[in-house]
């Protein structure tokens, strides 16, 4: 399960949900968008939804162990829009 926060939000807004999902046996990944939370670099503005979706793909590709099954994307506000673009483009 991939958690995508709202614009300027952090993955910590999903803490209760993430805890419940982990307890239920799901692998949970929270994605901070560039320039937000614990990300390492800002994204070149203005970022497009496609660029944010590519960032999600980059995060998933960097995971260890790698993601080998389909993912469920849960997004709030902008995170929802990014999830929909990811689903179409990926």
- Tell me how far apart the alpha carbons of residues 6 and 12 are, in angstroms, rounded to a whole number: 11
Place of tokens 């960032």: 55
The predicted model scores a pTM of: 0.88
Instruction: Please report the pLDDT score of residue 40 as a whole number.
Output: 67
* Averaged pLDDT for residues 55-70: 91
Q: Which CB contacts under 8 angstroms, 24+ apart, belong to 28-32?
A: 28/1, 28/3, 29/1, 29/2, 29/3, 29/59, 29/60, 29/63, 30/2, 30/3, 30/5, 31/2, 31/3, 31/4, 31/5, 31/55, 31/56, 31/59, 32/5
pLDDT tens for each residue of 21-46 = 999 999 999 998 887 766 666 666 66
Residue bearing the bigger pLDDT, 21 or 7: 21
Mean pLDDT of the chain: 89
């Amino acid at each position: 399960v991939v958690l995508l926060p709202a614009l300027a939000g952090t993955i910590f807004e999903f803490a209760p949900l993430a805890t419940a999902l982990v307890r239920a046996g799901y692998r949970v990944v929270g994605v901070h968008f560039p320039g937000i939370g614990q990300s390492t670099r800002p994204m070149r503005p203005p970022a497009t939804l496609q660029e944010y979706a590519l960032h999600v793909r980059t995060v998933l590709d960097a995971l260890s162990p790698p993601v080998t099954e389909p993912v469920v994307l849960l997004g709030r506000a902008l995170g929802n829009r990014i999830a929909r673009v990811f689903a179409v483009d990926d």
